[in-house]
Amino acid sequence: MNEILQLNTIAQAHQLLGDKPKHPLVSVIDFSKVENPPTQLPKIVIGFYCVIFKNDSNCEWKYGRNNYDFQEGTLVFLAPGQALELDLDQSGKAKNGWGLIFHPDLLLGTGLDLDQNEYSFFSYEVNEALHISDREKEIMEDLVDKIKNEIEANIDRHSKRLIVSSIELLLNYCVRFYDRQFITRSHKNNSFIAQFERVLKEYLNTEELVEKGLPSVTYLAEKVNLSSGYLSDLLKKETGKSAIEHIHYQLIEKAKYLLLNSNVSIKEIAFDLGFEYPQHFNKLFKKNTGVSPSVFRKSS
């Protein structure tokens, strides 16, 4: 099915499921209680945030570049503008699980900023989902119940603050759970880091560096089959350095080698390293070493 369905509001999401929302900006959907789900769904582009919990493997989701068959206890996060495809069973049901959906307008004036690096999991691919334990699942469900109760209660001047506070607490727990997941999957993560380092070094030793300039984080992430957000967070957690810092480190190491082992001018070295303007190279080199390229060459 090539059709693309744009869902910009919470009401449109509920209309797709055959009912009406109880709040215009936020909703909790229990997949097992959806009475009239569509038997087929097109590709969906959303205009709101989603936190989706899947508690069985009877439904395959396609998000970003990958298909993903959910296992028990899995959370995935989507931000406005992202696309999602679902392959449901013959009845159209997604079986067990829940979805917390909320519009960006809900957060206006609250101080909760989901563009912060702290919540970068909203930019992850679905194959980088969060796998939670039974205890973590209980924490999530307790917070979702609190949000649902507030939505279903009579709206008063406290409602928005309490709902957003619960969403923020839920997301902060997810930050903790992702930190735990990075640790428990350290062995697997190390293989990704090794791949990243190899791809980066290979790139820096090809003509692509001269022709295209420094590789982007997105380019390197695609080479190791990760999203740029997940790769950056993984590197930061495992090594203490961001992806950009890794790129700059390897570039400066190559620059040092060229400065010490060739008579090529600093201007030519800058061009060979993909810099359009030598002064940009000089600035980056000094920032990372404390001295200019010319001082480094003379003092070594």
Task: List beta partners, residue 68.
Answer: 61
Tokens 């929302």 belong to which residue?
21
Structure tokens at 133: 């334990």
Contact 189, 197 (CB under 8 A): no
Domain coordinates of the chain in residue numbers? 4-184, 187-299
> Sorting pLDDT into bands at 50, 70 and 90, what band is 110?
very high
3-state secondary structure of 82: coil
> Sorting pLDDT into bands at 50, 70 and 90, what band is 8?
very high
Give yes or no for residue 160 having a pLDDT over 60: yes
Give yes or no for residue 154 having a pLDDT over 50: yes
Q: What is the mean pLDDT of the chain?
A: 85
Give yes or no for residue 221 having a pLDDT over 70: yes
Interior/surface letters 221-258, b for 16+ CB within 10 angstroms, e for the rest: bebbebbbbbbbbbbbeeeeebbeebbbebbbebbbeb
Contact 63, 125 (CB under 8 A): yes
Tell me the pLDDT tens digit for each residue of 60-97: 544 444 444 445 588 999 999 988 766 555 454 555 78
Write down the architecture of domain 4-184 according to CATH: Sandwich (2.60)
Supply the CATH classification number for the domain 187-299.
1.10.10.60
| Alpha-helix runs per DSSP H in the chain | 10-17, 134-152, 159-184, 186-204, 208-212, 217-223, 228-239, 243-261, 266-272, 278-289, 293-299
CA 188 to chain centre: 18
Residues with Cβ within 8 Å of 269's Cβ and at least 6 positions away in sequence, in order, are: 255, 258, 259, 262, 281, 293
CA 38 to chain centre: 29
Which pLDDT belongs to residue 19?
A: 84
Tell me the pLDDT tens digit for each residue of 235-278: 998 888 999 999 999 999 999 999 999 888 999 999 999 888 89
> Sorting pLDDT into bands at 50, 70 and 90, what band is 38?
low
Average the pLDDT over 14-34 and give the result. Answer: 88
Contact 224, 231 (CB under 8 A): yes
